[in-house]
Amino acid sequence: MIWPNRKQGVSPTPAASAETAVAPAARPAAPAAVKAPSVTELSPGDIKTELKVELHQKLLDRINLTALETMTREQVGRDIGEIVSEMLKEMKHALNLAERRQLVEDILDELLGLGPLEPLLKDPNITEIMVNTAFIVFVERAGRIEETRARFADNKHLLRIIGKIVSGMGRRIDESSPMVDARLPDGSRVNAIIPPLAVDGPILSIRKFAKIPIDMDKLVGFGAMPQACAEVLQAVVQGRRNVLISGGTGSGKTTMLNAMSASIGTHERIVTIEDSAELQLQQRHVVRLETRPSNMEGRGEVTQRDLVKNSLRMRPDRIVLGECRSGEAFDMLQAMNTGHDGSMTTIHANTPRDALSRLEQMIGMSGIDISPKSARAQIASAIHVVVQLERLSDGKRRLTSLAEVTGMEGETVLLQEIFRFDRQGIDAQGNVLGELKPTGIRPKFMEYLMARGITLPSHLFDPYRRMDTAA
């Protein structure tokens, strides 16, 4: 039997040997502080997820989780079938036989897979899952962050699920390496951090893999930018200008990088370099590289910088670096300056100007002895266009500035804005009002593009013409 404790509603202590090494910190109180959304506030699709979450939660109270691991799917299926029927009756949910079978199958997947995470992972409306210890689970649904009713039996259970995820990737998590990045088989990105670093218990963050990647048309459709701006970006990529995409965490940098990469020609050889492969380029002539953390003995680490250097020996036409964080900035700029025009990367910064000074700092991290002036000169000649993304207070991700690097004056890199988001206030629902407008400056890259047969109509840069903002 897998529910020996149904009367008491307590899970037994799992076998110590099978457990991950760390004892999770005890959570003193139930998650009373934050109110979960009531079922009536949710759409029909959400209700199905919530029903599963609720059933799952009830099951967790009744069953012996460690016994599960030694049982076959059939055995568990029989037991769960009974208990689910009983619970549905209690909850007064009338389901027909086929629906109930489906539900039992789903719940089995959940119990044998990633537990309470499974319904959230399956719900296509959920893009992000944030587990703040066993009893507090937030999701991002359609751009809004909300708490769900999903919860784990306790922090040990959560830790077991985390262990399952990372061991599937050949990584481990325990007291001696208490944080880890991993990827689910479907490509979703996972970060876990556990005690003693995480004070209250294990923390899990999952950025779900978008099955259908967001392309330029979708970005325009979502209101991230007007059509005119999308056309300019596509021309910039086709015309092989080097691009730096800047923004905060979750502002849509990787998504933009992916969408822009679609404009790279199919005959060009592209090398992508990432810490955790997220990009989904559709071209065939693509080589994907991913870094590797060091092993248990602290050896064997391969950094982005190593990969950028190696990629130069692979005869790439373009290098797409997922995110520039450190010393690889130097090698990336060199690549951009030496014939790999049309390369792209992203950076964590709040304005285009800030992005350039971050780059300068990162050159410093490479350990190369170079004066600030020559570092800036490298940047000024390598980077042509800076795209600034922001997640505004209404949760919407938008392109808020498109700037062009035009050269150096003395020790300063010259930067001019071509488009700028003009904020006009907030409506009653909290939506940010405003639009991306041309500043009236005709970009210098226009001539460069024209010389390569790519023409952009000059009205795109006319500030007096209303732009067609979709959304």
Ligand X SMILES: Nc1ncnc2c1ncn2[C@@H]1O[C@H](COP(=O)(O)OP(=O)(O)O)[C@@H](O)[C@H]1O
The footprint of ligand X (CB under 6 A) covers 127-128, 143, 207, 210, 214, 219, 222, 224, 247, 249-255, 397
> Pick from ligand X, Mg ion, none: which does 214 bind, CB < 5 to 8 A by kind?
ligand X
Residue nearest to ligand X (CB): 252
- How far is it, in rounded angstroms, from Cα 71 to Cα 64? 11
Nearer to Mg ion, 11 or 255 (CB): 255
Question: Residue 38 has what DSSP assignment?
Answer: P
What the block records as the tokens of 111 is 């119990």
49 contact, one of Mg ion, ligand X, none, CB 5-8 Å limit per kind:
none
Q: Closest CB to ligand X among 132 and 345?
A: 345
Burial letters 300-334, b for 16+ CB under 10 A, else e: eeebbbbbbeebbeeebbbbbbbbbbbbbbbbbbb
In whole angstroms, how close is the CB of 230 to ligand X at the nearest point? Answer: 11
182 pairs with which residues across the strands? 190
Contact of residue 417 among Mg ion, ligand X, none (CB under 5-8 Å per partner type)? none
Instruction: Sort residue 92 into left (φ over 0), alpha (ψ -120 to 50) or beta.
Output: left
Closest approach, Cβ 164 to ligand X, in A, equals 23
110 vs 128, beta carbon nearer ligand X: 128
How far does CA 193 lie from the centroid of its chain? Answer: 17
- Backbone angles phi and psi of 159, in degrees to 5: -65, -35
Nearest distance, CB of residue 250 and Mg ion, angstroms: 8
What residue 388 binds from Mg ion, ligand X, none (CB within 5 to 8 A, per partner kind)?
none
Closest residue to Mg ion using C-beta atoms: 254
Which residue, 271 or 399, has its beta carbon nearer to ligand X? Answer: 399
Q: Are 403 and 352 in contact (CB under 8 A)?
A: yes
- The entry of ligand X, Mg ion, none near residue 188 (CB within 5 to 8 angstroms by kind) is none
Q: Which is nearer to ligand X, 108 or 257 (CB)?
A: 257
Scan for tokens 């939506």, then name that residue. Answer: 431
DSSP per residue over 417-461, as a string? EEEEEEEEEE-TT-PEEEEEEE-SPPPTHHHHHHHTT----GGGG
User: Is position 254 an interface residue for Mg ion (rule: CB under 5 A)?
Assistant: yes
Q: Which is nearer to ligand X, 126 or 375 (CB)?
A: 126
Residues that bind Mg ion (CB under 5 A): 253-254
